[in-house]
Chain A
């Protein structure tokens, strides 16, 4: 008998689920008194949490930013796809997707902050001729107490993710045929898309939408940059408790994490009910016989909003770039007077260590994730395993359980077991988030590979391993490199796992960049933000160019 590979999917699931399970245990057990933290009393912690004056505002903020960002991102994607189906505009947006997606959240948030701040680029462009401002106005645009900047920032950053997942779903359903038939029945193009294509697309992007909702409710790094300060969001407050030198506050943090988890579960339930209400209304609309010709009028809005949201993120990065080279830059000048290398000379040397740490963690995590994912997919092929819907849902679980709900528990447990946190713990914690994205990115091309190549190879006398290493992996080099780039980008962007699993001692580009928030040194933020963006984009550049070079004489495999 050949060695069985069936243990690989199990190991992969364990790498995903054990940290989440242990983390949740580490949050709940101390509160139940099952695990003792020196100097902390469970009842007191819960009482302290309830007595915290910011509790209502922080909880409300979590809910509004979560629903607000998810609704806006989803609406934008639906608008773009229904109005721009098959247009050149959509093709352009599609090409921008990878850079938009891979950009670390923190860098995108800083970019947005530099754009919309009272002294930001937008205010500068309109001053003083339109606004009359000679000084930056005293407006609370950033870090507004209602979390509007936070919600908008999340919406523009999450929309590309939902767009990508929708485009992948569109590839699996026969959208073209449905549209043709609906239009032959007299429906407008966008009406036909909403009535015949969207229900099928939504069924496929449901879990990604839940991921966006859970993420937007609980994000930490973006909230620290764009969110309100007093009180902060619940997630940021939990992090403060967890990183307080007073260890007894860890239990308060755990209580907060549990509340945060409950809020997310409640929100997901509300969303689920909402889905059914919308579905019922939609069914009524579909069967009403309306041909919906008016909807086409929304087309300019769709292109406008699509362009604007991509432009916001990209201009934000341009802003980081300009600030990183800015000498004197007084308001309301649109550009700094002298461009200088001084900022890079000043902050550049300190970048070396975090760049190295970021690279080691990202490359190791991605390599492990690739081996586990390829092993799982190969096991699926060799043993004719079919992943069940439940197994696929498990893949999404680490993305649905908020980081701020289980990572503190992991920290508590490590502390309690006397384990030192460090690079390996960080890598294990990154794996939890890297594996799902690598798997999602690789599984479709892997399964789409023509298995007859394998049959031919085997009939020519090659063993299954030889077929894997000599035929399948080389033929799938392009999607494998893309999946690796996705994995690296996910790892580079991780803030909370690096901070909590690393015990605050592992400094990556992302933790260093976010730590600059409070200081407000825009030149330093520009330098770190650009370094962070490059760290996420360079793997994509390699994934794009390497196959072109390697396959320059292999037309069938050269990416177009």
Chain B
């Protein structure tokens, strides 16, 4: 079995017109940066990988994740995590509840709660369980969003301009955190960005589309 994420002659077309074609393999622990101007289909490609393409799009080819063909699986069964430019923490849940939503099912109530406290500790937010996400700083929100995603134990990670909403200093810090965590867990990472510096900083191969 090959580990990593394989896009096997993946082609997306919109109302019959070809939009993106890609054939590549992202090994576990590596980052593939996809660059292109807006409208080139970067976000469409990620939607194809998460299984949330809108009507009117058709895909051919296969998406293989750690030997599993996930092409036709519903989003929730793919085990593909995604981070957007906005943190998208659920505003009606506390920080801890957001993490619990992400944590894979299983374990007793106490065990689950213990895992969440541990995770909060891990990202330097001990004591934040009951906090309103709206009261967090940008960096804190980004860390919670990352941890929420990791707790769902994904097998691949997608980044949709994930760092462009952060100011430069913070961006450096969060990027380092995300990439370190992805590498420790051996996750293949696909990052789309319009910023060459961002793609450069990722340290992996860069693919230009559009």
Contact = CB atoms under 8 A, between A and B. Distances in A.
B87 to A, nearest CB: 9
A113 B94 CA distance: 52
Given A459-B149, A461-B152, A556 B88 contact: no
B88 A453 contact: yes
Contacts of B102: 460-461
B206 to A, nearest CB: 24
Nearest to B85: A452
B90 A463 contact: no
A553 B129 CA distance: 13
Nearest to B91: A556
Main secondary structure of the interface of A (DSSP, over half): helix
A554 B76 contact: no
B52 interface: yes
Interface in A436-482: 450, 452-463, 470-471, 474-475, 477
A459 B91 contact: no
Contacts of B71: none
A458 B132 contact: no
Contacts of B54: 384
Contacts of B94: 553
A471 B80 contact: no
Interface size class on chain B is 35 or more
| Highest count of chain B CB atoms <10 Å: which of A457, A460, A471 | A460
B169 interface: no
B82 A554 contact: no
Interface string B77-112: 111111010101011101000000110110000000
Given A460-B149, A556-B134, A557-B92, A452 B55 contact: no
A555 interface: yes
A198 interface: no
A456 B88 contact: yes
Contacts of B154: 459
Interface residues of A, number: 26
A551 interface: yes
B104 A554 contact: no
A450 B74 CA distance: 20
Contacts of A557: 91-92
A456 B133 contact: no
Contacts of B47: 455
B50 A555 contact: no
B104 A461 contact: yes
Contacts of B152: 459-461
A455 B76 contact: no
Interface string B33-77: 000000000000001001110110000000000000000001111
A460 to B, nearest CB: 4
Contacts of A453: 88, 90
Nearest to A453: B88
Interface of B: 47, 50-52, 54-55, 74-82, 84, 86, 88, 90-92, 94, 101-102, 104-105, 130, 132-135, 148-149, 152, 154
Closest 3 CB pairs of A and B: A384-B55, A458-B75, A556-B91
Given A459-B80, A459-B149, A460-B76, 11 more contacts: A455-B50, A456-B88, A457-B90, A458-B52, A458-B74, A459-B82, A461-B152, A463-B74, A463-B76, A553-B94, A556-B91
